[in-house]
Chain A
């Protein structure tokens, strides 16, 4: 089970641009 922080971090990263 993911901790809340891991879940938040994953969520934040998912919204960041992937390709430069």
Chain B
């Protein structure tokens, strides 16, 4: 069978599908001071999984606000800098108007994912941290 660390080199998704892969990628991003990219990506997925029902409404609103505040509000943050202004406006409007939709962070997540696929992920595959692991 293919060892997990070789699978991690196939695609970003195969890396993010494996707990050890996530931990190593996170350690690398932390070293590069951009671990927030990965946390934001998972936060978006987690948010989408929260079912919109009466029991969850308060939690979803609180969580949407928390994600917005932590990763998007500060324009100098590593995540915020990688998201298009129109996408940030859209999310801000959703939060302000309390229109909390499961897919409200999807576009921002896609933008961060593309950035990781083009930039941090290929660099990770050439990094000492990955090569030492393999």
Interface residues of A (CB under 8 A from B): 2, 4-5, 7-8, 10-17, 20
User: What total count of A-B pairs have CB within 8 Å?
Assistant: 49
Size bracket, chain B contacts: 20 to 34
Within 8 A of A (CB), among B33-64: 39, 42-47, 49-50, 59, 62-63
Interface residues of B (CB under 8 A from A): 16-20, 22, 39, 42-47, 49-50, 59, 62-63, 65-67, 69-70
Interface SS majority for chain A: helix
Interface SS majority for chain B: helix
Partner of A11, one of B20, B43, B69: B43
A12–B46 touching, CB < 8 Å: yes
Beyond A4-B70, A16-B42, is A11–B18 a contact (Cβ under 8 Å)?
no
